[in-house]
Protein backbone atom coordinates (compact mmCIF):
# COMPACT_ATOMS: atom_id res chain seq x y z
CA UNK A 1 0.00 0.00 0.00
CA UNK A 2 3.06 2.26 -0.22
CA UNK A 3 2.34 5.42 -2.13
CA UNK A 4 4.61 5.74 -5.20
CA UNK A 5 5.82 9.33 -4.63
CA UNK A 6 6.03 9.25 -0.83
CA UNK A 7 4.47 12.73 -0.82
CA UNK A 8 1.12 13.98 0.47
CA UNK A 9 -0.45 17.39 -0.06
CA UNK A 10 -2.28 18.38 3.14
CA UNK A 11 -5.00 20.93 2.43
CA UNK A 12 -5.86 22.25 5.87
CA UNK A 13 -9.26 23.81 6.61
CA UNK A 14 -10.03 25.14 3.12
CA UNK A 15 -13.67 24.88 4.09
CA UNK A 16 -16.93 26.75 3.80
CA UNK A 17 -16.91 27.52 7.54
CA UNK A 18 -14.47 30.38 6.99
CA UNK A 19 -16.63 32.02 4.35
CA UNK A 20 -19.46 32.06 6.88
CA UNK A 21 -17.29 34.35 8.99
CA UNK A 22 -17.68 37.16 6.49
CA UNK A 23 -15.53 39.67 8.42
CA UNK A 24 -12.56 37.27 8.54
CA UNK A 25 -12.97 36.22 4.93
CA UNK A 26 -13.28 39.82 3.68
CA UNK A 27 -10.05 40.80 5.44
CA UNK A 28 -7.99 37.75 4.51
CA UNK A 29 -4.30 38.53 4.10
CA UNK A 30 -4.07 36.48 0.89
CA UNK A 31 -7.08 36.75 -1.44
CA UNK A 32 -5.40 34.36 -3.94
CA UNK A 33 -5.25 31.48 -1.46
CA UNK A 34 -7.92 29.32 -3.14
CA UNK A 35 -6.36 29.82 -6.59
CA UNK A 36 -2.96 28.79 -5.23
CA UNK A 37 -4.40 25.78 -3.41
CA UNK A 38 -6.19 24.71 -6.61
CA UNK A 39 -2.90 24.95 -8.52
CA UNK A 40 -1.18 22.79 -5.88
CA UNK A 41 -3.98 20.21 -6.02
CA UNK A 42 -3.68 20.04 -9.82
CA UNK A 43 0.09 19.62 -9.52
CA UNK A 44 -0.28 16.92 -6.87
CA UNK A 45 -2.79 15.01 -9.01
CA UNK A 46 -0.48 15.17 -12.04
CA UNK A 47 2.48 14.05 -9.94
CA UNK A 48 0.55 11.17 -8.37
CA UNK A 49 0.85 12.54 -4.82
CA UNK A 50 -1.68 11.67 -2.16
CA UNK A 51 -4.13 14.51 -1.53
CA UNK A 52 -5.47 14.87 2.01
CA UNK A 53 -8.38 17.19 2.79
CA UNK A 54 -8.44 18.21 6.45
CA UNK A 55 -11.50 19.97 7.82
CA UNK A 56 -12.11 21.36 11.29
CA UNK A 57 -15.27 20.64 13.28
CA UNK A 58 -16.64 21.97 16.54
CA UNK A 59 -19.68 19.75 17.20
CA UNK A 60 -22.68 21.08 19.11
CA UNK A 61 -21.40 24.69 19.21
CA UNK A 62 -23.96 26.22 16.86
CA UNK A 63 -21.22 28.13 15.04
CA UNK A 64 -19.79 27.99 11.53
CA UNK A 65 -17.68 24.95 12.46
CA UNK A 66 -20.59 22.93 13.84
CA UNK A 67 -21.08 20.03 11.38
CA UNK A 68 -24.84 20.18 11.93
CA UNK A 69 -24.98 23.50 10.04
CA UNK A 70 -23.39 22.00 6.90
CA UNK A 71 -20.36 24.28 6.47
CA UNK A 72 -17.72 21.74 7.54
CA UNK A 73 -16.92 20.79 3.95
CA UNK A 74 -14.19 21.64 1.48
CA UNK A 75 -14.98 24.72 -0.60
CA UNK A 76 -16.76 23.58 -3.76
CA UNK A 77 -14.28 25.04 -6.24
CA UNK A 78 -11.50 22.76 -4.97
CA UNK A 79 -13.40 19.58 -5.90
CA UNK A 80 -12.08 16.70 -3.78
CA UNK A 81 -12.08 13.30 -5.49
CA UNK A 82 -13.39 10.09 -3.97
CA UNK A 83 -9.86 8.64 -4.04
CA UNK A 84 -8.48 11.47 -1.87
CA UNK A 85 -8.09 10.98 1.86
CA UNK A 86 -10.39 13.09 4.06
CA UNK A 87 -10.06 13.63 7.80
CA UNK A 88 -12.03 15.76 10.22
CA UNK A 89 -10.17 17.20 13.19
CA UNK A 90 -11.37 18.80 16.40
CA UNK A 91 -7.95 20.07 17.49
CA UNK A 92 -5.83 22.86 16.01
CA UNK A 93 -3.40 20.50 14.22
CA UNK A 94 -4.34 17.78 11.76
CA UNK A 95 -2.83 14.90 13.75
CA UNK A 96 -3.89 14.93 17.42
CA UNK A 97 -7.59 14.09 17.01
CA UNK A 98 -7.40 12.09 13.77
CA UNK A 99 -5.71 8.94 12.48
CA UNK A 100 -3.79 10.99 9.87
CA UNK A 101 -0.35 9.91 11.14
CA UNK A 102 -1.30 6.23 10.84
CA UNK A 103 -2.86 6.77 7.39
CA UNK A 104 0.31 8.46 6.11
CA UNK A 105 2.59 5.80 7.62
CA UNK A 106 0.51 2.99 6.05
CA UNK A 107 1.03 4.63 2.66
CA UNK A 108 4.77 5.18 3.12
CA UNK A 109 4.47 8.96 3.05
CA UNK A 110 7.74 10.66 3.99
CA UNK A 111 7.05 14.24 2.83
CA UNK A 112 4.04 16.47 3.52
CA UNK A 113 3.29 19.65 1.62
CA UNK A 114 1.09 21.97 3.68
CA UNK A 115 -1.33 24.66 2.53
CA UNK A 116 -4.66 25.98 3.78
CA UNK A 117 -6.39 28.46 6.03
CA UNK A 118 -5.16 30.12 9.18
CA UNK A 119 -1.46 30.29 8.42
CA UNK A 120 -0.30 30.78 12.01
CA UNK A 121 -2.87 28.53 13.59
CA UNK A 122 -3.89 25.22 11.99
CA UNK A 123 -1.32 25.25 9.16
CA UNK A 124 1.68 26.17 11.33
CA UNK A 125 0.69 23.82 14.14
CA UNK A 126 0.22 20.97 11.66
CA UNK A 127 3.67 21.70 10.22
CA UNK A 128 5.30 21.65 13.65
CA UNK A 129 3.64 18.36 14.64
CA UNK A 130 4.48 16.79 11.26
CA UNK A 131 8.11 17.77 11.74
CA UNK A 132 8.14 16.30 15.26
CA UNK A 133 6.69 13.07 13.82
CA UNK A 134 9.63 12.82 11.41
CA UNK A 135 8.07 13.99 8.14
CA UNK A 136 9.93 16.24 5.75
CA UNK A 137 7.71 19.33 5.72
CA UNK A 138 7.23 21.72 2.81
CA UNK A 139 5.18 24.79 3.72
CA UNK A 140 3.69 26.65 0.75
CA UNK A 141 3.36 30.07 2.35
CA UNK A 142 1.41 31.83 -0.40
CA UNK A 143 -1.10 28.97 -0.46
CA UNK A 144 -2.11 29.83 3.11
CA UNK A 145 -3.98 32.79 4.52
CA UNK A 146 -5.17 34.29 7.77
CA UNK A 147 -6.80 37.41 9.11
CA UNK A 148 -5.38 39.87 11.61
CA UNK A 149 -5.71 39.77 15.36
CA UNK A 150 -7.20 42.76 17.13
CA UNK A 151 -5.62 43.92 20.39
CA UNK A 152 -6.90 42.47 23.61
CA UNK A 153 -5.97 42.35 27.26
CA UNK A 154 -2.34 41.30 27.42
CA UNK A 155 -1.65 41.16 23.67
CA UNK A 156 -1.17 43.51 20.73
CA UNK A 157 -2.88 43.74 17.38
CA UNK A 158 -1.09 41.93 14.54
CA UNK A 159 -1.95 42.17 10.86
CA UNK A 160 -2.63 39.04 8.82
CA UNK A 161 0.38 39.86 6.63
CA UNK A 162 2.64 40.08 9.70
CA UNK A 163 1.29 36.77 11.01
CA UNK A 164 2.09 35.12 7.67
CA UNK A 165 5.65 36.52 7.62
CA UNK A 166 6.19 35.46 11.23
CA UNK A 167 5.07 31.92 10.46
CA UNK A 168 7.44 31.71 7.49
CA UNK A 169 10.32 32.94 9.68
CA UNK A 170 9.59 30.59 12.57
CA UNK A 171 8.99 27.45 10.50
CA UNK A 172 11.86 28.08 8.10
CA UNK A 173 14.32 29.69 10.52
CA UNK A 174 13.84 27.10 13.24
CA UNK A 175 14.04 24.12 10.87
CA UNK A 176 10.45 22.89 11.06
CA UNK A 177 9.85 23.22 7.31
CA UNK A 178 11.16 24.31 3.95
CA UNK A 179 9.30 27.47 2.95
CA UNK A 180 8.34 27.71 -0.73
CA UNK A 181 5.92 29.61 -2.95
CA UNK A 182 3.25 28.03 -5.10
CA UNK A 183 5.33 28.77 -8.22
CA UNK A 184 8.36 27.04 -6.69
CA UNK A 185 6.30 23.98 -5.75
CA UNK A 186 4.75 23.79 -9.22
CA UNK A 187 8.24 23.70 -10.73
CA UNK A 188 9.17 20.60 -8.71
CA UNK A 189 8.94 17.24 -10.44
CA UNK A 190 7.12 14.29 -8.92
CA UNK A 191 10.36 12.68 -7.72
CA UNK A 192 11.51 15.65 -5.62
Class of domain 7-186 as given by CATH:
alpha beta
The long-range contacts involving 74-82, CB below 8 angstroms and separated by at least 24 positions, are 74/11, 74/14, 74/15, 74/16, 75/14, 75/15, 75/16, 75/19, 75/34, 76/16, 77/34, 77/38, 78/11, 78/14, 78/34, 78/37, 78/38, 78/41, 80/51, 80/53, 81/45, 81/51
Q: What is the pLDDT of residues 88-112, one digit of tens each?
A: 999 999 999 999 999 999 999 999 9
Q: According to the model, what pLDDT value does residue 190 have?
A: 47
Whether pLDDT at 135 is above 90: yes
Q: What is the pLDDT of residues 45-89, one digit of tens each?
A: 999 999 999 999 999 999 999 999 999 999 999 989 999 999 999
Whether pLDDT at 140 is above 70: yes
Query: What are the domain boundaries of the chain?
Result: 7-186
Q: According to the model, what pLDDT value does residue 25 have?
A: 80
Q: According to the model, what pLDDT value does residue 148 have?
A: 93
Residues 6 or more apart whose CB falls under 8 angstroms from that of 185 comprise 40, 43, 113, 138, 140, 143
Whether pLDDT at 133 is above 70: yes
Rounded distance between C-alpha atoms, residue 7 and residue 82, angstroms: 18
Residue 39's closest CA among 191, 192, 180?
A: 180
Q: According to the model, what pLDDT value does residue 189 have?
A: 62
Count, residues in the chain: 192
Residues 144, 164 contacting (CB under 8 angstroms): yes
Q: What is the pLDDT of residues 3-53, one digit of tens each?
A: 889 999 999 999 999 989 877 788 899 999 999 999 999 999 999 999 999
Whole-number mean pLDDT of the chain?
94
Q: According to the model, what pLDDT value does residue 1 have?
A: 64
Amino acid sequence: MTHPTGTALLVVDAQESFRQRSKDWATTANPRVLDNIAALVGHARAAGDLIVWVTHAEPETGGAFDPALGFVRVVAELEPHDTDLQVVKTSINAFTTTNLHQQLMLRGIRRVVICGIRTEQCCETTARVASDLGFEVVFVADATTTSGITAGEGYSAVSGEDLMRRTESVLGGRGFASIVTTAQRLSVSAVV
